[in-house]
Structure 1
């Protein structure tokens, strides 16, 4: 079950994001404490995030400067998020997680409307260009205003905090933020999202490995599954029905919320 969940999560993370909403409920259902499930999940899915990023290497061509400007914000945010997770009491985490899952599910549900809005905005910008030229690396970035760049990096930093604390749907958040504030093609943004999410998962995983409760068998099983899933997501994930993926994520996420709330009763 854990390997299959890892494959599914790796595929979903490469295509949409929010794969944690598959693996986290599975681990909780199998009896792992929520904090252990979160920390083991972060480490186990990190190889899958890297796998998905490698699968989008063609879309990432010429984006080195953009990644260099975004990665520090994601990494620093991940550090802050892990510190919060390790500092707050386990009971606080168990109370916050259902709220975070509901937030993630809302993001998954509204993602199509956000994407449609972003596409309409991009089309208007192409008809009436006023910003960057959207060309090679640095072209679009240079065209963005300083205020827009600061806002973009700040939001990426905040998303990194969220990802370091609880990884679910950070990819959806990143796609919404970048889609609104950037003009690069959506597939390029998806590649950038995969790199940033991989960085957050790796940093969080390194911190958790030395200072948090970890189930290493779970980590190993998730790592194997997520690597396979990352490659599948990058290669064939675009052919899958986004509506089906979202429906599955919502059903599993709601089951996790119900189980977590019931456990307190």
Structure 2
């Protein structure tokens, strides 16, 4: 591994950790970076998931003040994220690599559409808030969190966007509070998937890549929690779209 590759992966980790904390979709930075250096898609995805746990931890800690009053909600939602992550991680390991290579471009495209439509989706969702989340509405929330966890355990790009969109529709909390919840749930999913990968198929883990992404994403999580709200949303979306298109091209070509 060259020094250029080391530096590029660490910088991608910083970028991903920052974006994950602020918006989500950090995998759209690190995953294509790893592909560009020739790492196999499944191994790159697993190593990336492990490395991003560090950024999830620092990002969630940075939002600790926003989620202080939401502990009950987190206790209610965390089991769905956990179960979903286990299922998604097992699907990644059970399905053949060819299936992953075929599915991931579609997932990235879906993630990019969600990123582009994010502002309109959130504006619409803000008009749908109810003061209490009970009955069928709560069931829909739990099922949605479970499915988002499955998606995150399988691939993870734009998991944060999915979570924010879902919770914005179904929960009455402000966007910054929801972002804090999103960071905690994303951490649960990444950590759970990482444990599954280590137990079931440790040979797929590239520990050098894990360490480099972990260093970068931890720094990025701290930066994202501190300065993320002041970063222009249009620039983040544009960057994610450009990198996502590159990822799709790399996978298809």
TM-score by length of 1: 0.90
Aligned-partner Cα distance in 1 for 2:228–2:37: 27
Deviation string, structure 1 residues 68-118 (Cα, Å, up to 9, x no partner):
000000000000001111110111111111111111111111111111212
Cα distance between partner residues in 1 of 2:9 and 2:134: 45
CA deviation vs aligned residue, 1:202-247 (integer Å, no higher than 9, x gap): 0001111233301100000000100100010000011111100110
| Partner in structure 2 of residue 236 of structure 1 | 227
What is the distance in 2 between the residues matched to 1:65 and 1:145? 14
How far apart, in 2, do the equivalents of 1:73 and 1:251 lie? 32
The structural deviation recorded for 1:177 is 0.3
- Are residue 85 (structure 1) and residue 92 (structure 2) matched? yes
CA distance in 2, matches of 1:64, 1:153: 16
TM-aligned CA deviation for residue 119 of structure 1: 2.9
Secondary structure of the corresponding residue to residue 59 of structure 1 = coil
Q: In 2, distance between residues paired with 1:191 and 1:235? A: 13
TM-score (norm 2): 0.95
| Among 43, 47, 53, the residue aligned to 1:46 | 53
Q: Deviations over 1:163-218 (max 9, x none)?
A: 00001000000000000000011110000000000000000011112333011000
| Equivalent pairs, count | 244
Specify every segment of 5 or more residues in structure 1 that has no aligned partner in the other structure, as ranges.
123-130, 133-142
Measure the CA separation in 2 of the matches of 1:23 and 1:152: 29
Counterpart CA distance in 2 for 1:107 and 1:144 is: 24
Report 1:152-163 matches (<5 A): 152-163=141-152
Instruction: Specify the alignment match of 2:3 in structure 1.
Output: none
Deviations 1:112-166, CA, capped at 9 Å, x for gaps: 11112123445xxxxxxxx43xxxxxxxxxx222110011000000100000000
Selected match of 1:25 from 22, 27, 32: 32
Q: Which residue of 2 aligns with 1:167?
A: 156
Please say if 1:250 is aligned against 2:241. yes
CA RMSD across the alignment? 0.9
SS at match of 1:62: helix
Quote the Cα distance in structure 2 between the aligned partners of 1:205 and 1:104. Answer: 21
Unaligned runs of 5+ in 2: 1-7
Structure having the higher Rg:
1
Structure 1 counterpart of 2:191: 202
- Mapped partners of 1:166, 1:242: distance in 2: 23
Q: Distance in 1 between matches of 2:38 and 2:76?
A: 40
